[in-house]
Chain A
């Protein structure tokens, strides 16, 4: 699957985006600029749907952590939504869940963003 980045909702209340495909070094190079513009720069509570991410490595995690740090500096939160079992295992192995909450359901994710 070719890497894609989709904006689902972007208003005054929330940024809701989705990443699709492999978040490896090429995936990061493909979407990083757009991801930063649509998340950190918007300064809103941010929901990142990763349910269609098939692979993530350290550079992809670094992209997510950097965006979450930027949002935190501006008083906004980020939550990851719906990772597959293997992607969730990778995220948890790197301790990402300790700094960016992960939710399985959208309702739970929205609750975490409040």
Chain B
């Protein structure tokens, strides 16, 4: 039987700590492997910080809804936000062959997401982004 965490958070980076604590408690309670725990925290960090830092053209308060569903040996994460349209599935890949002097931080979060999760789906629904990940 699965167990899930449903949260609606404001677009404030300070919220990430609370999300991580609640997600960590759920993952520990369900006995999820260390690798999946790491990948889940990575997904939460990269997805939520990306939306909060880059998703909005104004400085108003917005709400981000997330569902973290934990089943036997697998985790699903859904994130719904009303930020600008952004499809991480089709975002360009970073060039890891670049020398140190030409490395740029942009795109690394999406790259890591692709490495650590097994499936990513994106849909634009009206004025909202829906991102679904299987970890």
Contact = CB atoms under 8 A, between A and B. Distances in A.
B5 interface: no
Shortest Cβ-Cβ A-B pairs, 3 listed: A95-B96, A62-B105, A58-B109
Nearest to A65: B103
A93 B115 contact: yes
A72 B108 contact: no
Interface of A: 24-26, 55, 57-59, 61-62, 65-66, 68-69, 72-73, 86, 90, 93-95, 98-100
A94 B13 CA distance: 23
Given A58-B105, A93-B115, A86 B38 contact: yes
B116 A72 contact: no
A98 B105 CA distance: 15
Given A25-B45, A25-B49, A55-B41, A94 B108 contact: yes
A24 B20 CA distance: 11
